[in-house]
Amino acid sequence: MKKAFKKKTKTQATTLPGDITHAQKIERMIRVDHAGECGAQRIYAGQLAVLGNSKSAKTIAHMARQEDTHLAAFEKLIVDKNVRPSALHPLWHIAGYALGYATASLGEKAAMACTVAVEEVIDEHYAAQLKQLGDNEPTLRKTIAQFRAEEIEHKQIGLNHKAEDLPYYSVLRAVIRAGSKTAIWLSERV
């Protein structure tokens, strides 16, 4: 009994009335990551619809395939851990595609600027989650760490494709960053 109490307090030591529990934190993480990976997959699908025959098509398809893997992993976690998906999931499905399609329509550099902006927010988001997890949930930690490394690779691909040369790069980046952060905040809660 004493041992069980000790074990419980280790993960919930800082839980105060009104705070969410460790289990709820994990559910939130899976919910938001599932929504985010859906959005990312749809961004690259939208980009490919426009740039499927361009010189960057192969590179975008490579990133799209990695997003497929990321999404599949979180879809499995949603089922295995019985987590409610974000109620806004259908919105991210449409908004992700629209964002990818719209930026690609502005040209390859705009598509790559979108990639940089989104992926840097996801990188920061996954870094924050890893910090929050600490030594807990080693399997989830490993998944997030692997995906984070690939999101960083995507961001670097965008930079290598001269995203920053886009004349309105700063504005587009700021707008997409703000939108992505809002989507994350909402998906954790709704």
* Nearer CB in complex with Fe ion: 20/142: 142
Q: Which residues contact 157 (CB under 8 A, 6 or more apart)?
A: 59, 63, 112, 115
Give yes or no for residue 151 binding Fe ion (CB under 5 A): yes
- Candidate residues 42, 70, 161, 173; the one interacting with Fe ion per rule CB under 5 A: 70
Residue 54, CA atoms < 13 Å, CB-side half-sphere = 19
Query: How many chain residues interact with Fe ion (CB under 5 A)?
Result: 6
Subset of 31-50 contacting Fe ion (CB under 5 A): 37, 40
Between 120 and 151, name the residue whose CB sits nearer to Fe ion: 151
- C-beta of 10 vs 65, nearer to Fe ion: 65
- Residue 64 binding Fe ion, by CB under 5 A: no
Pick one of 25, 28, 42, 154: the residue that binds Fe ion (CB under 5 A): 154
Stretch that binds Fe ion, among 68-76, 79-87, 164-172, 182-190 (CB under 5 A): 68-76
Of 16 and 71, which CB lies nearer to Fe ion in the complex structure? 71
- Indicate the residue among 22 and 88 with the shorter CB distance to Fe ion: 88
Closest approach of Fe ion to the CB of residue 41, in Å = 8
* Interface ranges with Fe ion (CB under 5 A): 37, 40, 67, 70, 151, 154
